[in-house]
Amino acid sequence: MIDFSLSPKAQDLKERTDAFVAEKIIPFESDPRFLDCQTGVTEDLRLELVALARDAGLLTPHLPEKWGGADLSHTERAAVFEASGYSPLGPIAMHIGAPDEGNMHLIEAVGSDAQKNAYLPRLASGELRSCFAMTEPAPGAGSDPNMLATTAVKDGNHWVINGHKWMISSAQGSGLAIIMARTADKIEKGKGASMFLVETDMPGFNEIRRIETMDSGFVGGHSELKFENLRVTADHILGELDEGYRYAQVRLVPARLTHCMRWLGAARRCNDIASVYVKNRKAFGRRLADHEGIGFMIADNEIEIVASRLMTLQACWALDQGDDARQESSMAKVFCAEAIFRIVDRSLQALGGSGAMRENLVERIFRDTRLFRIYDGPSEVHRWAIAKRRLA
């Protein structure tokens, strides 16, 4: 039987997160270091927010207790992460935003003891940021990972990495990168690629530029990288050689769901902002809320908020039962990415001209959530994968 009830520990954490975001974090939304920053927030603001979460006992709660977390199940994360996402600054403060949250999960799941001890304490504390370098410009890997062009070639006791990556979220200012590279002559049956855990100040790791994009939801923005004879030793391999694609699913299946959780909190915030507005703004002799067309927008938002939450929880429950949950994760990702955008879009529409103003948080969330339908697998690719599994 499916059970979405929270443990007392998780319920307390969710309630404390609600209060923390409302009392400590939302006031920072008027800070110029957030309002005027095109890469999420400035680094000094990020560290200030992280310190607040640390003091509140809310930093990196998804990690095991050994690393300072609360050892939350996937289902428990859903409630806490949604609560954090009620402000765009909440996940940043709690250090549970992408890509760091997924990278911490992956290192904890498949990293060696030496890798965990070297990096998880610094990631868990918020001192260190990281990126995940997978996506490449044409003709390299985008939605099709089998087109991976970056290579790692064995040279004695070393591996030499060469390649070109772009749209790498949070690369600017990060100290650690997980690089996906081809380590075999060809990709066969999901094998032939490996992950390398690399510090970004190593010779041969080059940030070419920060790419200007419509969103500002990732600390550090999105960057273009080039690896030129980046030389690493075998202990930089994350997990086993040639198993990178398998590990990618270890990371991406739950990471898609944590995106759903955080953005659901943002969608709920937009609906709340719109609801307050339409209850107070008058037109044609009555409140906007009393016009059926506006009321239907809010009603549809309520429906899709609940539906998105339930789809996410169902996929989380499957993961907690030990299922690989690839089908459930893909379905939740497609539905939530599209439903959340509709929720935010309706909220902006209900706000009228004020919704288009940069000073309105809904406008920023509108731009940020549009890209959710692309990253971590476009909706079209997930639909194709869902159909192939169902019709195999």
* Per-residue pLDDT tens digits for 245-296: 999 999 999 999 999 999 999 999 999 999 999 999 999 999 999 999 999 9
Residue where the block lists tokens 């309630």? 15
Look up residue 91 and give its two tokens: 């996940």
Q: What is the structure's pLDDT at 315?
A: 98
Please state which CATH number belongs to domain 130-238. 2.40.110.10
In this structure, the strands spanning 205-211 and 158-169 are unpaired
Q: What is the structure's pLDDT at 175?
A: 98
What gap in Å lies between CA 277 and CA 351, rounded to an integer? 7
Q: What is the structure's pLDDT at 55?
A: 98
Residue whose C-alpha is closest to residue 170's, from 121, 118, 135: 135
Q: What is the structure's pLDDT at 190?
A: 85
- Domain range 245-391, CATH architecture: Up-down Bundle (1.20)
Residue ranges in the chain whose pLDDT is less than 70: none
Is 194 within 8 Å of 237 (Cβ atoms)?
A: yes
Q: Which amino acid is at 250?
A: V
Q: What is the structure's pLDDT at 129?
A: 98
CATH says 8-111 is which class?
Answer: mainly alpha
Mean pLDDT (the chain) is: 97
Q: For the chain, give every domain's residue range.
A: 8-111, 130-238, 245-391
What gap in Å lies between CA 79 and CA 70, rounded to an integer? 13
Q: What is the structure's pLDDT at 287?
A: 98
3-state secondary structure of 178: strand
What gap in Å lies between CA 368 and CA 344, rounded to an integer? 10
Contacts 24+ apart (CB under 8 A), 15-23: 16/56, 16/57, 16/58, 17/58, 17/80, 17/83, 17/84, 17/90, 17/94, 18/83, 18/86, 20/52, 20/53, 20/56, 20/58, 20/90, 20/93, 21/83, 21/84, 21/86, 21/87, 21/90, 22/86
Q: What is the structure's pLDDT at 109?
A: 96
